Amino acid sequence: MPEKLMITAEMIEIMRAHVLRCFPEEACGILGGSGDHIKYVLPITNELHSPVKFRMAPEEQFKAFVFLEQNSLQMLGYYHSHPAGPAYPSETDLLQFSYPGVVLVLLFPENSTLQIKGFIIKENAINEVNIEDYKSKKMDF
């Protein structure tokens, strides 16, 4: 079970920009890399266009998986936004979670800024995962 997810500030910015473009709808995407290092943020269309639910567009999700496979990378996580909160996986997130062993990254508004947290879900247990930059310093969002 991952204890941390290493990511660059530039990749965080890609996720933030995607979330802001989709607002007030939820944004979603796949995080690919190796070990605990994210190398690609792959934004995917939320085909539900909903502020409270998401479903990744299947054709885009498939292309993302093919891209990861062709580059010998793994899906280390996926992200989505909670435009109105909470800063924690929702009941829907738990019911629809289908990627064991990957980190769920949530982006959410708090104090007029966009915050980010990572979670690992295993058998309905939820544990927070540190999100750190490549220099192993805790990211301050």
Q: Which active-site residues does the annotation give?
A: 26
Report CA dihedral (18, 36, 75, 129) to the nearest 10 degrees: -70
Three-class secondary structure assignment of 12-41:
HHHHHHHHHHHCCCCCEEEEEEECCEEEEE
Q: Which two tokens stand for residue 18?
A: 């995607």
- Chain centroid to CA 114: how far? 13
